[in-house]
Amino acid sequence: MADSDSDYVQDGSEEEVSRHQITRGVKAVRAGPDQSKKWEVARPWDDVREDATGAIAVDDMLEAGKRKRKLKDTTPLQRGIIRHLILVIDCSTAMLETDMRPTRYLLTLRYAQAFVLEFFEQNPISQLGIIGMRDGLAQRISDTSGNPSDHIARLQTIREQEPKGQASLQNALDMSRAALFHAPTHTTREVLLLYGSLLSSDPGDIHQTITALANDHITCVVIGLAAQIAICRTLVSRTNPSMPVSESYTVALDDIHYRELLMRATTPPPTASSTTNTNGAQKQSGIIGGSTLLSMGFPSRITDRLPSLCACHSRPTSGGYLCSRCSAKVCALPSKCPCCGLTLILSTHLARSYHHLFPLRNWKEVSWQRAALCPDTVACFSCLAAFPPAQLRRADSGAGAKEAGEGTRTKVGKREKRKEIGISESGRYECETCHTFFCIDCDVFCHDVVHNCPGCQSREGDLLDRGLDGDGDGRDGAG
Amino acid sequence: MSYCRPNSEKGGLKPKAKQESTPEAAAEKPWPEGGTWVHLSPQDLTRLGKMEAIDSSEHYEKTKEESPASLLVIILDTNPHAWFALDDQLPLTSAIAHICVFINAHLAFNDANKVAVIASHNQRAVFLYPTPPTAATQHDASTAQNDSSADVEMVDASNGTSANPSSADANKYRPFHQVQQAMTSAIQKLMDETKPESLASTTAIAGALTLALTYINKQTILANSVLPSSDTNATGAHDENAPVLLTSRILILSVSGDLANQYIPIMNTIFACQRKSIPIDIAKIAGDSVFLQQASDATKGIFIQVEHPQGLLQYLMMGFLSDPTSRQHLISATQAGVDFRAACFCHRKVIDMGYVCSICLSIFCSPPEGSVCLTCGTHLSLGDYGKVPAVIPKKKKDKKGKAKEKVADTEN
């Protein structure tokens, strides 16, 4: 097992991860849930690595972040921005396991709250509902709505109730189907299952339910906590044929991986090509009707001196937003006007989703050769941190610097091989549109948080003067 | 430590003499009860002093109570068009003088406070302070490192720009002087580089904001990396409970108006600020911009419309000097009404009700022609928007049927 662990750390490819999961699943099934964790103690010392001189390599941490960035696909895809998602939480006795601290159940609830917040952060005009699987029944935890605080309040109330009985996949799926049935055609219909059990106790034939889900274009994604289960595999492969099973059915290895998998689901799913419907053959994706023009209101905020009742909760509030069609007062946005049914949003909510549609392109690693061509750039453009100087490197590797590609790779072997994953040997990363060099911190920050290229945004005038241009299809800064 | 008492009262001599007379007793009873005196040699006293310095927890508590250092990033809109229009009220030179005083006040607040100044020029954004290192300066530094034995000419931190410091600057606090020198020379350089043909009425505020954010991110990482336990990842997902060592804020001195062409990048930076809880303060000297209002509203910053530009310094000192930590205890000036209306993508009209493409979320003031989205080119199904509600015609057949039934009923 030690071997496979270190393999995983070393190249961490998707393939390796999935193989890892399968072994784990098989083991867990064979050994039973109570023994499944004995061979899986945390081994933090495996993550520490020494470099050639014997010092602990610090850049591995950076590399990990970098790899995360690399996995991100930056092709601009049509995505289902307006989503309807049902989160199904396992509340059966299997969730009492303590392989994730404190228990699977409490950890899941904690992560679910973070998920709700992040989901509405990323998808402000989407709807979410939560269903629990407890004691063989499906239990509605919170109704489908667009208000994160409602969901979080409901999640906090079910903390007190102990997990009980078995989970019933069929009941939960039927209830989700009923909740998603009315969703408009231009939205996605998704079910996200957090499944800790190794079985499903169902009242009827679950395959009929799966067929019904597939007919209703509902896509199901499962995050397992224990092992891969055949029925979940069938479920995801039947309900989203356009997505590989390794993406739609994942098993969490530990709590950090669990959080990562859960947070990955907050990104809106790409729309499958067959969505643009050719009469009736629209089986491929959650979106059935394709594109629609939606009528929306952009209300302005008002502050009254005296409180008045809001139309949504009938509570006295002094601030709020007036519906632009019927002037009813609602307390929070985004929401649907309770009187006339107009969708009320802020333009900032729409803008929040734009970075999914216009992703920032990945920056290229800069070789020493390329770095030597630009001796003027000695520091990161955006944070002014100095780069390792090119002269030093040339002194190190002598004449070999010319063919930095093969020469050094054979010399330093493994280390160089790891660097290929996405670490730049010169510590520089170049935006292909504006040809500016950045450091790794700025690279990760720009791609994860800002979604802007500092170079493209602040050098437009310079670019015009110098007559440089991007690589043709560069993202237009002005959008 | 408790047995070491200052012998100020009762006269130290007598007990001291007693202890000296019976050294055996002192050895037997190292912890005398009830305030008897123990003689301590000067060595003992220094040792105790050291111990006290080492294991007293006072030191650590003090750092916790101290307010964290504050990083202020000032974005100065240096659009020449707008400053020319303002020239009779507030020339750029005096505005810079005001800003320098403000920066000095900020730096004087806390020894660890930092400042960065970014110019948002037309079409590009550049750092004014700290000065971006160039190949020449770095070469100097590297040679200085390599042959430390050689006699190296002392290079000023402001990169030799202050070759002849006037006698008036001699008594100036050095950090103030450095910032001022670097800033004025950088602005001078920037204005010299500006050619008449490259003048446009816009300003690269999105680029400046992005630069400010990346700089803040780097400084935060550097500040946190002092603590070995803290996690220095860029997303900041895991270090929610880590102590805050550096609070940052952004102050924009804005003189330009229209920013519509940078809508998406500006919005991206606003959301990044929201996630990182960095307030964006706006001092709106001239022009009008909806986005900046929304920026300060969304990030809980301060928005002040500077009505009398001559008194810029007072606005800065009274309105913007407090850092995020002290703002928790202050009621800051901000404006109540914020314009949230959107502008449509087709005519740039400000609308309060519109149509949104479900694929690319473009906003239109009316259904686009041919029902094809102007941004993404998707064919949109229009739904029933804008039509007059249909009245269902009365169905004659039903009536006849009903009438027949009625007839039948009556017949029966």
Least confident of A361-370, B4-13, B174-183, B388-397: B4-13
pLDDT in tens, B101-118: 999 999 998 888 999 999
Whether A408 shows a pLDDT value over 80: the answer reads: no
State the smallest CA–CA distance between residue B208 and chain A in angstroms: 7
More confident site: B239 or A379: A379
Mean pLDDT of chain A: 75
Contact yes or no for A293 and B264 at CB 8 A: no
State the smallest CA–CA distance between residue B299 and chain A in angstroms: 12
Best residue in A433, A452, A463, A464 for a mutation probing chain B (most B CBs within 10 Å)? A452
Best residue in B137, B199, B214 for a mutation probing chain A (most A CBs within 10 Å)? B214
pLDDT in tens, A72-108: 666 667 778 889 999 999 999 999 998 888 899 999 9
| Cβ contacts of B3 within 8 Å, gap of 6 or more | B31, B32, B38
Domain A77-264 bears CATH identifier 3.40.50.410: yes
Contact yes or no for B210 and A389 at CB 8 A: no
Tell the CATH superfamily of the B69-135+172-224+243-327 domain: von Willebrand factor, type A domain (3.40.50.410)
**Nearest C-alpha neighbor of A78 from the set B267, B355, B375, B270:** B375
Segment 194-233 of chain A within 8 Å of chain B by CB: none
Q: Model's pTM, two decimal places?
A: 0.71
Nearest beta carbon to residue B355 from set A293, A301, A382: A293
| Cβ contacts of A409 within 8 Å, gap of 6 or more | A416, A417
- Domain ranges for chain A, please list them: 77-264, 296-354, 364-465
Whether A416 shows a pLDDT value over 50: the answer reads: no
Contacts of A355 in chain B (CB under 8 A): 268
Separation CA A169–CA A172 (nearest Å) = 5
What number is the ipTM of this complex? 0.70
Residue A410 forms contact with B (CB below 8 Å): no
Separation CA A426–CA A368 (nearest Å) = 6
Domain with CATH 3.40.50.410 in chain B: 69-135+172-224+243-327
Contact yes or no for A358 and B198 at CB 8 A: no
Contact yes or no for A382 and B211 at CB 8 A: yes
Whether A68 shows a pLDDT value over 80: the answer reads: no
pLDDT in tens, B225-236: 765 443 434 333
Whether B95 shows a pLDDT value over 80: the answer reads: yes
Residue with tokens 């007190």: A160
More confident site: A115 or B399: A115
Do you find a cis peptide bond into A102, omega within 30 degrees of 0?
A: yes
pLDDT in tens, A294-314: 888 888 778 888 888 988 888
- pLDDT band of residue B169 (cuts 50, 70, 90) is low
Q: Is A68 helix (H, G, I), strand (E, B) or coil?
A: helix
Residue with tokens 């530094």: B141
Integer angstrom CA distances of residue B145 from A116, B190, B257: 52, 31, 48
Q: Is A386 helix (H, G, I), strand (E, B) or coil?
A: strand
Contact yes or no for B234 and A477 at CB 8 A: no
